[in-house]
Amino acid sequence: MESSRSAALEEFALARERLVRRLSERGVRDERVLKAVYETPRHRFLPEAFWGQAYKDTPVPIGEGQTISAPGVVATMTEALSLAGHEQVLEVGTGSGYQAALLHSLAATVLSIERIPVLAEQAEAILSEMGCDRVKVRVGDGTQGAADCAPFDRILVTAGGPELPLPLLSQLAIGGLLVGPFGRRGEQELLRVQRAGAQRFTREVIGRCRFVDLIGEAGWSAR
């Protein structure tokens, strides 16, 4: 039993090594991001039935009609945040908690907001098991951010919204970055927005993607 368990862990570590190689071939350059992907056991955040797919570059269902993004998308978004290690980060859409675990390895603190209580609970349990003690999970509407903890150096939105939520822009520190998918339901542009001054924001499109809906006051209404 013990030896088959350690063989499985070795198998997962090898699969992560292959995944990291693939991500680097596909253009992910940030060594810290690649190291975090290598060290974070993505399978632990997935339902056991999907462990065999944990290190393929595909999205995976996590229950409640939600999906965890493909590792390539997660790595691209994480790289776009240009994290050095000292940042206070807000994540909107905790989902499985995998992205929050990566952010925990790359930044100082992470506040992650999830609207579905059971997902938040599961993510919180696994994050605490993995020792991610600088991540806080909160249940609520992440389109409203967390005014009590603002400003944030980085904001990562991991569900697709119709437009940039104003509360998030106002909770971004000057010089800070927000990354997230915005546009139509079912197809969005991945935006990277920098707050250059109190009232000055610059934005660039860094890709196209398809995320589950961002549902909330400054997002879509539930259907």
Interacting residues toward ligand SAH by CB under 6 A = 66, 68-69, 92-93, 95-96, 98-99, 113-116, 119, 141-143, 158-159, 212, 214-216, 219
Nearest distance, CB of residue 96 and ligand SAH, angstroms:
4
Nearest distance, CB of residue 42 and ligand SAH, angstroms:
9
* CA atoms of 168 and 145, how far apart (whole Å): 6
CA 178 vs CA 12, 13, 112, 171: distances in Å = 32, 31, 14, 10
Nearest distance, CB of residue 59 and ligand SAH, angstroms:
9
Q: Which two tokens stand for residue 153?
A: 């150096």
Cα of first residue to Cα of last residue in the chain, in angstroms, is 46
* CA atoms of 151 and 83, how far apart (whole Å): 16
Q: Helices (DSSP H) in the chain: which residue ranges?
A: 2-25, 31-39, 71-80, 98-106, 117-129, 166-170
Query: Which CB, 95 or 176, lies closer to ligand SAH?
Result: 95
Nearest distance, CB of residue 164 and ligand SAH, angstroms:
13
* CA atoms of 194 and 213, how far apart (whole Å): 23
User: Catalytic: which of 3, 4, 24, 69?
Assistant: 69
Nearest distance, CB of residue 84 and ligand SAH, angstroms:
21
Residue 168 contacts residue 183 (beta carbons within 8 Å): no
69 is catalytic: yes
Phi, psi of 54 (to 5 degrees): -60, -30
Query: Which CB, 60 or 196, lies closer to ligand SAH?
Result: 60
Q: Which residue is nearest to ligand SAH (CB)?
A: 95
Query: Which CB, 176 or 216, lies closer to ligand SAH?
Result: 216
Q: Helices (DSSP H) in 87-185: which residue ranges?
A: 98-106, 117-129, 166-170
Query: Which CB, 200 or 223, lies closer to ligand SAH?
Result: 223
Query: Which CB, 116 or 155, lies closer to ligand SAH?
Result: 116
Which residues are identified as catalytic? Answer: 69
